[in-house]
Amino acid sequence: IRFSFLFGLPSIFRGKTAQLPLNTIKSTRLDRFLREQKAESKDIYFQTSISIGKLSHLRLNRVNLYIYDFYLIGKSIHHDLNEMAQDVFSDYDAEIEQTHQPSKNSRRKGKLGKFGQIISQYLNSQSSLAQAIGMDKNKFGRLMYSDSEIIALDLYILTKLLNLDFKLVTEAICGHLYLNSAEEQQRLRDKYQAELDAKKAKRDAGKQKE
């Protein structure tokens, strides 16, 4: 599947972008969402191999939530990716909705025809897309060669601006990723339990010395 969202921004968004700060951690509501779903980090770890420590950082907004992790977390809890994105990124809905409002110039030109709708996606430069997600245009250009570096929120904003289906785009990017096999999940459960037992034994030994 090929998508045009990396090539240009429709002209109606020219000069109107989601003003996100450059080079910052882009917070989400992942923790609240997972609590509402009663999803425990250890269960996600068993299915995805995303470490419990990393999941903790993601939930506390200490690191950015990249699209690979977003996809695997969603698959592990069997949740629709569009619905998950709407909840996790709900803090940005107002800004995204504002950028959807056409400018005065675009209103004067009238509704685009089919040809205009297609061509308009190629009229703007790469810098327009980069600005829409608050990113340096050179760094944005590198994303076209490294799917794993795409921040999930950035992809969500771009798909909204370009009227693309977030779930469809995400599955096209991440469809090669799979949850762990039953055997691997059991191995990680055993490893997790062994670590808990070792910590408990260490605590008990310390109490005996006292």
Render 35-48 in DSSP notation, one character per residue. Answer: HHTT--HHHHHHHH
For tokens 């950035």, name the residue: 154
Count CB neighbours of 24 within 10 A. 9
Higher pLDDT, 114 or 171: 171
Lowest mean pLDDT among 21-30, 46-55, 100-109, 121-130: 100-109
Yes or no: say if 121 and 7 are a contact pair by the CB < 8 Å rule.
yes
83: left (phi over 0), alpha (psi -120 to 50) or beta: alpha
User: How far is it, in rounded angstroms, from Cα 148 to Cα 209?
Assistant: 48
Task: Note the pLDDT tens digit of each residue in 148-170.
Answer: 999 999 999 988 888 889 999 99
Higher pLDDT, 111 or 90: 90
pTM comes to 0.77
Please give the structure tokens belonging to residue 203: 């605590």
> Does the pLDDT at position 115 exceed 80?
no
* Pick from 115, 85, 99: nearest CA to 161: 99
Question: Once rounded to an integer, what is the mean pLDDT over residues 183-206?
Answer: 93
